[in-house]
Structure 1
Amino acid sequence: MNILEDLEFRGLLYQTTNREGLQKKLDSEPVVLYAGFDPTADSLHIGSLLPILILKRFQLAGHIPLALVGGGTGLIGDPSGKAAERTLNTTDTVSAWSQRLKDQLSRFLDFSDRLPNPAELVNNYDWLGSLNVIEFLRDIGKNFTVNYMLAKDSVDSRITKGISFTEFSYMILQAYDFLQLNQTKNCSLQVGGSDQWGNITAGLELIGKTTDNRAYGITMPLVMKSDGQKFGKTEGGAIWLDPAKTSPYQFYQFWVNTDDQDVIRFIKYFTFLSKEEIGRLEQEVKLQPEKREAQRVLASEVTKLVHGDEALRSAMNITQALFSGNIQELTQAEIEEAFKDVPSTTLENDELSVIDLLVAAGAASSKTQARKDIESGAVTINGNRLNDLENRAADLGRIGGAYLIIRRGKKNYYLIQFNN
């Protein structure tokens, strides 16, 4: 299966310019392509994972990916898909975030010189930062009419609410990126989300007007859940690629909780499983959805891809321990990761009775409620059923020498850490 057929099978081809011409070029030579990632935070999130993996798929097919970090355009702000003006960040902030993004992108693409088609990282601040405004307006700006720019969705959708000249100019800056890479890196293909179509075609327009080169564009669909909710968002916020912002366990849990209606589509988007294996998993979802095999495969594949084998093993170990109730099998590091977002309390006194302990942790609203919950068997501590009202915290044994984990009911967890 060639690269365009593979993308089509996976549902990743949303729009393509001159597909026949692009197919001929892909068949005849290694093609240089790029996708851009603006540093709007100190980490990429899983919304950026799709274009990253598109670059990886092209590299595996023998083509040459450029991962562009928008150190220049990140200072301006892309109006695409935004209802209001972005907050502008300082040059130092964007520069620091650009370096973080470079480090993250390096985890997915192979930059080894030993390859015939090594990937390359580029930063558009290298050419935009020294751009002369007069030359830019005369040589680049004259190629775009205001009418042409107003017709683009990214601008048109903001006209009624207002758009600054700063964000209005973003389209031309991204078009200039494509021209710059076309002339200096022989880049002939830009890929991005469907919200980037206007910016991509603006680049094609500029290349067509200023050179004799042929260039192409591909967009992929914006990822949405079947229930209409935005992909990559949870009650706790965005799902980040940085393990310090979203732990590997949280990351794994996000994927393993995928709805049956979404799981095969997400497997096609975010994994490199074969067509045959995806077909088998699709049958499993239809015939035995309660086993959730497809969700576990999706979670394992993506967590391993983003965080590596060791982090995947830890995430699966935490998941299994919480499911079975064998919490005492977890390491101190795994405890800290698994219960990062549950209510936590730090205590000095381990002479508290278990009733006072439940109240102090917030697991019971009163001593009377704590007593009732213990007597009904609704409380476990460190995975053990609590049934002795006379126990003290010191009698219960700590995980990692520091922690007690209270579970009330099936899903309500509370973490206690002792300083002594």
Structure 2
Amino acid sequence: MGVYEELKARGLIAQVTNEEEIREVVNNGKATFYIGFDCTADSLTAGHFMALTLMKRLQMAGNKPIALIGGGTTLIGDPSGRTDMRKMLTKEDIDHNAECFKRQMERFIEFGEGKARMLNNADWLLKLNYVDLLREVGACFSVNNMLRAECYKQRIEKGLSFLEFNYMIMQSYDFYYLFQHYGCNMEFGGDDQWSNMLGGTELIRRKLGKDAHAMTITLLTDSNGNKMGKTAGNAVWLDPNKTSPFDFYQYWRNVGDADVLKCIRMLTFLPLEQIDEMSSWEGSQLNQAKEILAFELTKMVHGEEEAKKAQEGARALFGAGVNTANMPTTQLTDGDFTDGQIAVLDLLVKTGLAASKGEGRRLIQQGGLTIKDEKVTDPNAAFVKADFEQGLVIKKGKKVFHKAVL
């Protein structure tokens, strides 16, 4: 089985521009392909997994990846899948986020001479002269076709800014630039990017002629990875300082029964034969499949040692008893207490179990908070320092555990 056939067997491919040509190029290691990552946060999320593992698979087959950091396109903001305009970030914020992305990508992709490249589209987009761009590129785009694009439809109903309207042209220009300067002949992206990606292949064809072989493939996901089952979570980060290895493991351990094998097939590097054998698993065997998924992905992001700790901690929590050794922990200081006490709502915010006191209050009112094995019913409850000396175990809902210590 060639790598292209494996991508299809794993359920990754949604749409392609020329399947036979793409199959030949990919299977023979002749693809120089890119995937773009806009720097809207200082960490990649679980939703980026499909793109990262795809790049790894293709690189293992001899193809050359380009990880394109969107230092320029992030200044505009992608309207795809949005009901409102994205928050405008400063160039300093974007540069910082780009550096964070680089460090995380290096766990998946091998960069270096003759291997993968990491580029930033700010290097060419920010140098463009607006009038020159209009003359060189603008004439290649039909406004009528752009307005029919899926990526704009939802935003047009709510109000699409002219700033966002330019995003398709910027993304298309990226492919055109990479094709000319780096021999990039293929673009991958989520299926919500199909219109933007076709814009790139069409721009290359119109500017460089029909013999310019530029190919496009979209994955069976949107650009945030939100068709892997659960919403792959803008809150589930690859940075261990934002999502601990334990919480990361638990996120994947809690994937729904209907989605676990789909996620294993798409995201792990387990052999397809082994995954096919799991297709008949039911009941408790599905819990075993979830453990396999969670362990494999946590190992990829945080290393095998952290994956083992997370697995052992999870088994202890949901098995015979509560073992707090590997539980996510928040350390409190004397400054967190007033008159020797800390209010339960302040505690929830401090530990990150609630984003605000209002959210914490709703959690308690809905019966979703347990502390010291007792359901908390009073949002005005408070705890003294002595409660934290051995570590106070906080349970949110049925499956989220956290420890607070003084």
Task: Report if aligned partners of 1:380, 1:408 keep a CA contact under 8 Å in 2.
Answer: no
Task: Report if aligned partners of 1:58, 1:64 keep a CA contact under 8 Å in 2.
Answer: yes
Task: Report if aligned partners of 1:78, 1:170 keep a CA contact under 8 Å in 2.
Answer: yes
Alpha-carbon RMSD across the aligned residues, in angstroms, is 3.3
Structure 1 residues 136 and 347: CA distance shift in structure 2, 3 A? closer
Partner in structure 2 of residue 11 of structure 1: 11
Structure 1 residues 146 and 13: CA distance shift in structure 2, 3 A? same
Partner in structure 2 of residue 199 of structure 1: 196
Between the aligned partners of 1:109 and 1:409, the Cα distance in structure 2 is 37
Structure 1 residues 409 and 225: CA distance shift in structure 2, 3 A? closer
Between the aligned partners of 1:412 and 1:191, the Cα distance in structure 2 is 35
2:303 counterpart of 1:308: yes
* Equivalent pairs, count: 365
Between the aligned partners of 1:272 and 1:232, the Cα distance in structure 2 is 19
Task: Report if aligned partners of 2:298, 2:307 keep a CA contact under 8 Å in 1.
Answer: yes
Task: Report if aligned partners of 2:140, 2:206 keep a CA contact under 8 Å in 1.
Answer: yes
Task: Report if aligned partners of 1:346, 1:417 keep a CA contact under 8 Å in 2.
Answer: no
Task: Report if aligned partners of 2:47, 2:226 keep a CA contact under 8 Å in 1.
Answer: no
Q: Deviations over 1:261-289 (max 9, x none)?
A: 11110101110111111012222x23x44
Segment of structure 1 superposing worse, 309-318 or 63-72: 309-318
Q: TM-score, normalised by structure 1?
A: 0.78
Task: Report if aligned partners of 2:388, 2:404 keep a CA contact under 8 Å in 1.
Answer: no
2:24 counterpart of 1:24: yes
Among 280, 287, 291, the residue aligned to 1:292? 287
Among 233, 236, 240, the residue aligned to 2:237? 240
- What is the correspondence of 1:186-335 to structure 2 with a 5 Å cutoff? 186-212=183-209, 213-222=212-221, 224=226, 231-233=231-233, 238-283=235-280, 285-286=281-282, 288-289=283-284, 292-324=287-319, 327=322, 330=325, 334-335=326-327
Give 1:405 shift: 3.7
- What is the correspondence of 1:19-418 to structure 2 with a 5 Å cutoff? 19-113=19-113, 118-212=115-209, 213-222=212-221, 224=226, 231-233=231-233, 238-283=235-280, 285-286=281-282, 288-289=283-284, 292-324=287-319, 327=322, 330=325, 334-335=326-327, 337=328, 339=329, 399=390, 403-405=391-393, 415=403, 417-418=405-406
Structure 1 residues 393 and 104: CA distance shift in structure 2, 3 A? closer
Between the aligned partners of 2:284 and 2:124, the Cα distance in structure 1 is 52
Structure 1 residues 162 and 282: CA distance shift in structure 2, 3 A? same
SS of the aligned residue for 1:14 comes to: strand
Between the aligned partners of 1:18 and 1:328, the Cα distance in structure 2 is 54
AA paired with 1:107? R
Give 1:296 shift: 0.6
Task: Report if aligned partners of 2:257, 2:286 keep a CA contact under 8 Å in 1.
Answer: no
Give 1:317 shift: 2.5
AA paired with 1:84? D
Structure 1 residues 379 and 108: CA distance shift in structure 2, 3 A? closer
SS of the aligned residue for 1:57 comes to: helix
AA paired with 1:34? Y
AA paired with 1:310? E
Give 1:177 shift: 0.2
Q: Deviations over 1:233-263 (max 9, x none)?
A: 3xxx621111111111011001111111111
Between the aligned partners of 1:12 and 1:265, the Cα distance in structure 2 is 10
Q: Deviations over 1:312-370 (max 9, x none)?
A: 1221232133234655671xxx34x1x559xxx977999x9xxxxx9x999xxxxxxxx
SS of the aligned residue for 2:264 comes to: helix
Between the aligned partners of 1:411 and 1:270, the Cα distance in structure 2 is 23
Segment of structure 1 superposing worse, 141-150 or 22-31: 22-31
Percent identical = 38
Q: TM-score, normalised by structure 2?
A: 0.81
Structure 1 residues 195 and 413: CA distance shift in structure 2, 3 A? closer
Task: Report if aligned partners of 1:32, 1:187 keep a CA contact under 8 Å in 2.
Answer: yes
Give 1:46 shift: 1.3
Give 1:49 shift: 1.4
AA paired with 2:232? G
SS of the aligned residue for 2:66 comes to: strand
Structure 1 residues 143 and 249: CA distance shift in structure 2, 3 A? same
Give 1:176 shift: 0.5
Between the aligned partners of 2:191 and 2:291, the Cα distance in structure 1 is 29
Give 1:156 shift: 2.9
Q: Deviations over 1:127-153 (max 9, x none)?
A: 011111121111111111211211211
Instruction: Note the residue ranges of structure 1 that are not aligned, 5 or more in a row.
Output: 353-357, 363-377, 382-391
Give 1:158 shift: 2.1
Between the aligned partners of 2:111 and 2:243, the Cα distance in structure 1 is 26
Segment of structure 1 superposing worse, 144-153 or 297-306: 144-153
Give 1:290 shift: 5.2
Question: Based on CA coordinates, which of the two structures has the bigger radius of gyration?
Answer: 1
Structure 1 residues 323 and 190: CA distance shift in structure 2, 3 A? same
Between the aligned partners of 2:400 and 2:193, the Cα distance in structure 1 is 43
Give 1:216 shift: 0.5
Give 1:230 shift: 5.0
Between the aligned partners of 1:12 and 1:174, the Cα distance in structure 2 is 22
Structure 1 residues 135 and 312: CA distance shift in structure 2, 3 A? same
